[in-house]
Structure 1
Amino acid sequence: MSSMNQSSYQKILATVPSNEEGLLAAVGQDTDASAQWSSGLCNCCSDAPLCCITCWCPCITFGRIAEAVDDGKTSCIASGGIHALLTYMTGCGWIYSLAYRYKIREQYMLGSSPFQDCLAHFCCERCALCQEYRELQLRDSTLSSTGEKKPGVEVVPVPPTQMTR
Structure 2
Amino acid sequence: MGDANTNGAPEAAPQVKMNVLAQFIRDMSFENILAQKGAQGDTQPDVQVQVNLDARKRAPENQYEVVMKLKIDSKAKESGDQLFLLEIEYAGVFVVENVPEEQIHPFLLIECPRMLFPFVRRIVADVTRDGGFPPLNLETIDFLALYRAELQRRAAASQAEPQGTA
TM-score by length of 2: 0.28
TM-score by length of 1: 0.29
The structure that is helix-richer by fraction is 1
The structure that is strand-richer by fraction is 2
